Amino acid sequence: METKIGVFLCNCGGAIKNIDFDAAVKKVAKFPGVTCVNLSSDLCLEEGKKKMISCIKEENIERVVVAACSPEFQEHIFRKVLEKAGLNDHLLSMANIREQCSWTHDGDVTEKAVELVKMAVNRVRLLQPMEKKELPVNREVLVVGGGFSASNTVLQLSRVGLRTTLLEKEAVLGAGTEELESFYGFDTGSMISAVEVDKNIEVLTSAQMTEVGGKIGDFSVRIRQEGGEILRKYGAIVLATGHQTELALDSEPQLRAEDEAISGLNIVSQEQFCCMLGNSGLETEPKTIGFMFDFSDENSRFTTLATLNNALAAKKKWGSEIYVFCKNVKVDSEGMEKLYREARDCGVVFLKSEAPPRITAENGRVKIEAKDVFLGEDVILACDVLVAEELYLPAEGAENLSYLLSIRRDSKGFFQDENVHLYPVGSEKKGIFFIGGCRGDLDLGRVLTDISSVVMKVHELLSSGKILVELERVKADPQKCVACLTCIRVCPHGAIQLVRVDGSKEVAEISDLACDACGICAAICPAKAIKFQGYRDEEILAQIEAIQEL
C-alpha cells in the first residue's frame, strides 16, 4: 500500500502574494501518494497547529510535507506538531516557498512553488522514522590547568552541583596568578584556598594525562601521578592550560651580533618589570623607560594591556619618562581606551613606527632607533630599561594535549580560535571545551565570559545525567562495511570507531552521542555502507528527480 502523504500549504497570513494557491493545491493533489492537501494562512499559530493535528489523525496521514517558510525558521515547531499527532517527528519535509521562492522572484511563481513541493514530497516518501533515547552520561568533569581560569571554573562547576577533578602538572595550584594580582588587584589566594576545601573538587597536583579515550559522557582518562597511574571516567573535559610569553627579541637579526653587549643591559619582560615595580629596594630608579609592542605579533591585546598598566604604575611610582614604541595601539578590551587616555594624560609618549625599532647598546644603556611615522624622522632614545615586546604563545604541553585528545590547533598553536562556526569555547569533539589563554590572546573580561559559557554548556549537557539523542541517525551497515577505516580517518568529530561483531568481523560504529550529523562519512564511504537518515543518497536523488518531472 502506498504511504499516505499530507501536504500543508501556508500563505503565511498573506505574506506570500505571488503564488496562486488554488491552482497549486490542484496540482499538488495529483502527485502520487498525496492523500490530502490543506491550505492555511496560520500554520505555525495555535489554531493552525490544532487543525494540522486533527487532519493528520482523521486522514491517517503517515508523512507530512509543509510548504511554507524556511525550515531553518520553523522546522522544530512542525516536528513537535508531528509528535503530538502521534507520528515520528522525523517524517517531515519542508518546502521553502517563502524565502527561496515567493520573496526572491517577481511575478507569478506558482510553477516553481509546486516544483519545490514536489521535491519535498519525493523526499518525504523515502524518510524513515528515527527513535529517540536518553543515554546515560558520567556527571564528573575533568578540568586541566591550575591557574586562575581553571580554579574559577571548578568553583563555578561545584556551585552548580557537578563534581570536578582539577589536574595540574605543577606541584602547587595558582601558577601565574601573581601577575593577575598586580595587574587587576585580584585576591587569588582566597580563590585557591576555596578550591582546596571544596568537597566537590578533587585536586590532583604533579599529575598529567597520558591517555584519553571514549567520547562525550564517557571519557576514560589515564592520569600519571607521582604514586603511579590511575584510570578515571569523566563526562566532559575542560582545558584551561593558559598561555606563556616569550621575548620577541630573538627574531631581530641585528641583535644577535651584539648579544654580548646586550646581555648586561636592562632588557626585561613585562613580568620582570612587574617584579621591579613591586621591589622597593631597587638600587637606582630607572629615569627613562622604553616599551615595545605590536611589531612581530598582530594579536597584541594582552601585551598592550600589560604595557598600559605597567607604564601607568611606573609613572606613578618613579615619575620616569616613558616612551612606547608601537605599530598600532589596539584598545578593544573593556576599559582599555580609558587606560590609554590616562597614560597619555600622565605624559606617556606613544611613538608609531612601521618597522620594528633597532636596539643596540650604548654606555650601559639601551639605545632604541625607530622611524616615527608622523614626524617622518628618526627618533633615537637612550633608556635605562627596555620592556621588550612579548609573544603570546600557548602554554608548554599544548601540543601534547592536542595529540592526546586528537583536537586541532590553529596556526599559532592555540586551541580553536579561528573557526567561527564552533561555539567559541567548544572544540570539534563534543564534550571538550577550552577556556582562556589556551584558546587565544584574551583579557580577563573575556576569560570570565569563557568560564561562564563553559559552565553553562557543561551544566546543560551533564546535569541531568543523561542526554537525549536520535538513535542510529548515521549508521554503518555491518553487512556492507569492509572496515577500510576511511570514515574513521575523515570524521571531524572523532565519533567513529571499530567494533567487533559476530565474534570475528570488525565494522565501523558511529556513536550517537559524539556524532554531529555532517554526513561526510556517508559521502566518502567507498562501500556505500553508511546511511545518514534524512540525507541518504536516495533522498537527495529523489529531489533531483522531482526537478525534471514538471
Nearer to another protein, 325 or 433 (CB): 433
Nearer to another protein, 95 or 141 (CB): 95
Nearer to another protein, 121 or 255 (CB): 121
Neighbours of 328 (CB within 10 A): 13
Nearer to another protein, 65 or 522 (CB): 522
| Contact indicator for 532, 478 with CB cutoff of 8 Å | no
| Contact indicator for 55, 36 with CB cutoff of 8 Å | yes
Best CA proximity match to 454, nearest among 189, 18, 142: 142
Minimum distance of another protein from residue 108's CB (angstroms): 10
Minimum distance of another protein from residue 145's CB (angstroms): 24
Torsion 320-332-377-292 (CA) sign? positive
Cell of 163: 563534581
Strand ranges, E, within 99-187? 132-136, 141-144, 164-167
Q: Cα–Cα distance between 154 and 354 in angstroms, integer?
A: 44
Minimum distance of another protein from residue 535's CB (angstroms): 6
Best CA proximity match to 158, nearest among 186, 195, 203: 195
Secondary structure element (H or E) that encloses residue 49, with its range: helix 46-58
Nearer to another protein, 105 or 133 (CB): 105
Nearer to another protein, 30 or 421 (CB): 421
Minimum distance of another protein from residue 550's CB (angstroms): 6
Place of cell 594579536: 299
Minimum distance of another protein from residue 213's CB (angstroms): 21
Q: In what order do the strands lie in the sheet with 358-362?
A: 358-362, 365-371, 378-383
Nearer to another protein, 428 or 506 (CB): 428
Count the residues in the chain: 550
Q: What is the 3-state secondary structure (H, E, C) of 455-516?
A: HHHHHHHHCCCEEEEECCCEEECCCCCCCCCHHHHHCCCCCEEEEEECCCEEEEEECCCCCC
Q: Cα–Cα distance between 58 and 86 in angstroms, integer?
A: 12
Nearer to another protein, 102 or 177 (CB): 102
Cell of 184: 587587576
Nearer to another protein, 270 or 543 (CB): 543
Minimum distance of another protein from residue 362's CB (angstroms): 46
User: Any idea what DSSP says for residue 33?
Assistant: T
| Contact indicator for 312, 292 with CB cutoff of 8 Å | no
Minimum distance of another protein from residue 271's CB (angstroms): 33
Cell of 72: 531553518
Q: Cα–Cα distance between 68 and 117 in angstroms, integer?
A: 10
Minimum distance of another protein from residue 532's CB (angstroms): 7
Minimum distance of another protein from residue 420's CB (angstroms): 5
Nearer to another protein, 108 or 187 (CB): 108
Q: Cα–Cα distance between 482 and 33 in angstroms, integer?
A: 37
Q: Cα–Cα distance between 510 and 467 in angstroms, integer?
A: 16
Can you give the C-alpha Rg of the chain in angstroms? 31
CA angle 126, 127, 133 (to 5 degrees): 155
Nearer to another protein, 290 or 519 (CB): 519
Minimum distance of another protein from residue 547's CB (angstroms): 5
Minimum distance of another protein from residue 523's CB (angstroms): 4
Best CA proximity match to 311, nearest among 301, 299, 324: 324
Binding region for another protein (CB under 8 A): 70-73, 96, 98-106, 109, 112, 115-116, 119, 408, 418-422, 428, 490, 492-493, 516-520, 522-524, 532, 535, 537, 540-541, 543-545, 547-548, 550
Neighbours of 22 (CB within 10 A): 9
Nearer to another protein, 318 or 535 (CB): 535
Minimum distance of another protein from residue 184's CB (angstroms): 33
Secondary structure element (H or E) that encloses residue 32, with its range: none
Minimum distance of another protein from residue 417's CB (angstroms): 11
Nearer to another protein, 11 or 266 (CB): 11
